[in-house]
Copies of this chain bind each other. A is one copy, B any other.
Amino acid sequence: MVHRTARRKNGKPRRAYRHGDLRRALIAAGLALAQAGGPEAVVLREATRRAGVVPNAAYRHFANRQALLDAVRAAALSSLAAAMEAEFARLDCELAPVALAHARLRAIGAAYLRFAVEATGLFRTAFATPGEPPGGERGEGASGPFRLLSAALDGLVSSGALPAARRRDAEYLAWSAVHGLAMLVIEGPLHTLSTTRQEQIGERILAMVENGL
């Protein structure tokens, strides 16, 4: 769609009555707001302002602010998944199966923690309390990151590094540990620690997960 101009009765020209892709623009604006100030910063009016449109225009694309936030949340979540996959890419593919499986699990945890620290606003937004029943209720689970974690654990089992008897619920245990640490680091008592110290503890918790599963 091309931007056009038109004139209204008072004679002032106006850019593009039809924005063309407002929905996407609002999500993008919301994402920027979220990145800078967390979920509570993604405010409908500001998003429309950035999209160069009147506040109510948003209601043609989202039922309400919460719906916009949910869309932004989904985008933030897939951004996290992308960070994980980028970490995968840096892995040595020539490793032995067992070592590779371990490396994958660690990569997921490390990516998760790094994302929490470097993109705190997005991270907090990704895991903000949703309006409706929590994220991905129909059994499909949280889309991206969760599936990556599951796959990594499956790899651990199939490579023989994890007894199948302990596979059950393992994603919850691993996720809990890493997610909890992320919380403590970004807005808890670990916030003031040096980066190296934080990474040190990150390493220990990943070790704890591998031992304790």
Q: State the A residues within 8 Å of B (CB).
A: 38, 40, 124, 127, 129-130, 133-137, 141-142, 146, 169, 172-173, 175-184, 187-192, 200-201, 204-205, 207-213
Contacts and interface: CB of A to CB of B under 8 A. Distances in A.
A205 B212 CA distance: 9
A175 B205 CA distance: 11
Copies per complex of this chain: 2
A204 B173 CA distance: 8
20 contacts: A129-B187, A134-B189, A135-B188, A137-B192, A142-B188, A146-B189, A169-B200, A172-B181, A172-B205, A175-B180, A175-B184, A176-B177, A176-B181, A176-B183, A177-B177, A177-B180, A180-B181, A180-B183, A208-B212, A211-B211
Main secondary structure of the interface of A (DSSP, over half): helix
A149 to B, nearest CB: 11
A141 B133 CA distance: 33
B192 A133 contact: yes
A179 B183 CA distance: 8
B187 A134 contact: yes
Nearest to A193: B172
Would you list the 7 A-B pairs with minimal beta carbon distance, nearest first?
A180-B180, A212-B212, A208-B212, A176-B180, A176-B181, A179-B180, A211-B212
Contacts of A169: 200-201, 204
Contacts of A127: 183, 187-188
Contacts of A146: 189
A184 B179 contact: yes
A162 B205 CA distance: 16
A133 B190 CA distance: 11
